[in-house]
Chains A and B, each alone.
Chain A
Amino acid sequence: MAHIQLKNITKNFGSHTALKGLDFEIRDGEFFVLLGETGAGKTTTLRLIAGLEKPDQGQILIDGVDVADWGAAERDVALVLQQYSLYPRFTVRENLEFPLKPKIRRVPDAEIKERVDRVAKTLRIEHLLDRKTDKLSGGEMQRVSIGRAIVRKPRVFLMDEPLSALDAKLREALRTELKNLQMNLGATFLFVTHDQIEAMSMGDRIGILNNGNLVQTGTPNDIYNNPKNTFVARSVGSPPMNLLEGSLRDGRAIVAPMNFELPYAGTHNAGAGADGRPIIFGIRPEDLYLESGAPVEARVHDVENHGVEKIVTLSAGDTMVRATVPARTELAIDEAVRFAWNQDKVMLFDRASGVSLRHVGPFEARSASTSE
């Protein structure tokens, strides 16, 4: 159990700045996910907390104590990586016992056995205990790796893309298992991934990293429904949010001049003086709908069947938009259709900065005063 705080962390590798003034906290017992592309600084953040790297600037606090001078071992964190680093010639039981058998501070044998058995039961690997690890499947190996992390009851779990090497079905199963495990242990988890589905489905809160900057932190719902800028808007949701350039005029959205117009009455959301201002309209695929009398004409560019629904790519003028439609909708490629959007769900972003107009208006002042 631990509370972690990063204060103004900067980390350089040579002339490259990997992290720029990173500020966030992970609450005790929280499942916190850092989401970002390769090179965003996720793994560096994790290694800094683990004590495997030192920051050039800023402080890391664990339970309120500055751990700058603590080595990796003293920080008492457990690391689970994408590559399972198990001892291949050991059995599963021996692998699980290993962290409990340091040269100093021996744990009594009876306690080792009890802890290993309990962990094996939690992870449903009891039947594998006597097997050599090189005889296991990928999912089983990852469970053993997690088991080896849990068995010594660390203060914090740090996980670096632990599910990325597994196939889709297994990843889905382990996602719930990990979340379940974290809830049962009440442990603090920092989970790093590039996969937005993992971030959304497991995180109590998500931090979005872009190029060493933390762009936004919030619950999955916050991030999805109230993204701070177009970068965050495109980071979560599949298919991603449609972003359309245009401007507002007299209660209408003029999308990429000469292409199409849609009604937009929600000026409350834009603030005063939004008329005529260069804007990016954000609309999620589930908030576009096809209807015979709808205002915009488009052609079906592509239809993908996803079983439960279909994803349609429409071309309108020289703009492409994506819409999700019920699975029973029958559409042919190049068919002419008409579409509209759900006005209440349209988000407005400033075209120059990409920042959501909700976040630059009074909203920002409100959220700043209520933030922890």
Chain B
Amino acid sequence: MTQIELRRVQKYFGPIQVIKDLNLVVEDNEFIVLLGQSGCGKTTTLRAIAGLETIDEGDILIDGQPVQHLKAADRDIAMVFQSFSLYPHMTVFENIAFPLRATRMNRSDLDSQVREIAKVLRIVHMLDKRPSALSGGDMQRVAIGRALVRRPKALLMDEPIGALDAILLEEMRAEIKRLHMRQGSTTIYVTHDQVEAMALADRIVIMHEGVLQQVGTPSEVYAYPANLFVAQFVGSPVMNVAAASVTQAGSGASVRVDGADEGFAFPPELLSRLEAKRGVSGQLSLGIRPEGVLIAHEAGEGFMPVEAHIIEPLGSFDIVDLTVGSQFLRARTRSGFVGKAGDRVFARIDPRQAHFFDNVSGESLGVRL
């Protein structure tokens, strides 16, 4: 049972504040992914929890007890890094057993614990090999085994599979998740890769320039991004964002992207919802993911004529760049749906998938239809 809590944590490197007022509760057994670009403070946060970095203000609590004054060794937390840091002169068995040596455990207990973790990680047949004889994936398995063998309160991982090739990376991703389910240890995992974060996390913590942007399940951060940064960081291809003005048009609302001749049709309640959230027309942006831009070959209710620009065929689907006024909107379509660049098609925005952001603050107005 391990709960980790950060309260008002501040951290400076010289004059630069790298963690700004961070508050976070990691529940027992939870798999949390800290996601952000390099320099966003995610690794510093992880190292502060591990005790490898001091903090300047605030509290770090493990199971309710402040630990910020404890040394790393006294926090009972294990860490796995991208570089494997195995002892090259020891066998896999000796590497995994190493953390247990200090505990003066008797030989048969030690032996059975090492074998048990090796079985979970499917490296039993390698126990007598030296690290130099292993592949990258297997070395990382050993490193994870070494971290888990002493049953730490929590497991912290810093881009543990970032150095592996694409196929191995996908395989290890599934394995890390299954391992977590079986072992059930509280895990905090750092990555810059949004695909990895979405695939692994119970909840994702998105950081930018030392500031926590949003905490939520993968579906939440994808469907309800709190601000423009999150909206454009999570999801590929990136969410379309365009400055837009919203007006009344007949019995409905119209959302006109800057530079376009006409607006996209929206249901009338958009106007009142925006007003309730104090959305100021003229400083709004429309956000829409490529799958929310609908395309048809025929003109229809709510569809406006647009020109297809670049078509990116990705096999199972295409991404089509549409010229709307002076902007591009990228749409996800069935492959081959739009024949070639320059074709005229008709586009509509799915109101239920539209997001509205305040241009100045970048915050989502929380208006969803």
Contacts and interface: CB of A to CB of B under 8 A. Distances in A.
A and B from one complex: yes
A221 B340 CA distance: 13
B316 A237 contact: yes
B282 interface: no
Interface stretch (B10-18, B52-60, B233-241): B233-241
Interface residues of B, number: 41
Contacts of B64: none
Interface in B334-348: 335-336, 341
B173 A201 contact: no
A172 interface: yes
A179 B313 contact: no
B198 A307 contact: yes
B178 interface: yes
A306 interface: yes
A240 B170 CA distance: 11
Given A179-B310, A239-B170, A302-B174, A333 B181 contact: yes
A238 B314 CA distance: 9
B181 A201 contact: no
B29 interface: no
A270 B197 CA distance: 41
Contacts of A176: 310, 312, 321, 328
Interface in A273-327: 284-286, 301-302, 304-308, 311, 313, 324, 327
A311 B309 CA distance: 29
B319 A304 contact: no
B237 A305 contact: no
Contacts of A201: 312-314, 319
Contacts, number: 88
A200 B335 CA distance: 12
Given A302-B174, A308-B289, A308-B291, A224 B238 contact: no
Given A307-B234, A308-B235, A202 B312 contact: yes
A183 interface: yes
A74 interface: no
A165 interface: no
A236 interface: yes
Given A183-B341, A237-B315, A305 B310 contact: no
Contact of B316 (A169, A286, A327): A286
A306 B314 contact: no
A49 B51 CA distance: 54
A166 to B, nearest CB: 12
A306 B198 contact: yes
Interface string A227-259: 000000000111110000000000000000000
B231 to A, nearest CB: 11
28 contacts: A168-B193, A168-B236, A172-B236, A172-B238, A175-B312, A176-B321, A179-B312, A180-B309, A201-B312, A201-B314, A201-B319, A202-B312, A221-B313, A221-B336, A224-B315, A237-B316, A284-B315, A284-B316, A302-B178, A304-B174, A304-B198, A305-B222, A307-B234, A307-B289, A308-B235, A324-B316, A333-B178, A333-B181
3 smallest CB-CB distances across A and B, nearest first, come from A201-B312, A304-B199, A302-B174
Interface of A: 167-169, 172-173, 175-176, 179-180, 183, 197, 200-202, 220-221, 224, 236-240, 284-286, 301-302, 304-308, 311, 313, 324, 327, 333
Interface of B: 37, 167, 170, 173-174, 177-178, 181, 192-195, 198-199, 218-219, 222, 232-238, 289-291, 309-310, 312-316, 319, 321, 328, 332, 335-336, 341
